[in-house]
Amino acid sequence: MTKVLVVDDSNSIRDMVSFTLKSAGYETVEAKDGQDGLSKAQASNFDLVISDVNMPNMDGISLCTELRKLPDFKFTPILMLTTESSTDMKMRGKSAGATGWLVKPFNPEKLLATIKRVVK
């Protein structure tokens, strides 16, 4: 089963994203910020990471940078799901090693279609 790490500081968003993924047959683990996400990533393997950008303790861009340093996450797809739509932020995400950038509000079907494209 495809295992997804969902990182977002908003309870509502974590809930909606997890719900969407579970309905489509994915297994999800939730983390409440970048720091929490990083420790959960270190403790287990994932096929995909979906992360918010603005979060307390550790933001999504830093999480992305940290994950790329871990051997197990070198090639794992990382999708940023965020309210940030500026080119500048997108470029920061890209250079941190993100696989894709999704601007909220997310469409459940499009999210699932995007996941199918990036998860091998």
Query: Can you give the binding site for other proteins, defined by CB under 8 A?
Result: 9-13, 15-16, 19-20, 23, 54, 56, 83-85, 90, 93-94, 98-110, 114, 117-118
The residue (of 40 and 92) whose beta carbon lies closer to other proteins is 92
Q: Which is nearer to other proteins, 71 or 105 (CB)?
A: 105
Residues in the chain: 120
Smallest separation, CB 17 to other proteins (Å): 9
Handedness of CA 95, 81, 67, 37 (dihedral sign): positive
- Kindly state the tokens that stand for 70: 């871990």
Q: What is the largest CA-CA distance in the chain?
A: 35
| C-alpha to C-alpha distance for 50 and 77, rounded to whole angstroms | 9
- Closest distance of CB 44 from other proteins, Å: 25
Q: Shortest approach of other proteins to residue 83 CB, angstroms?
A: 5
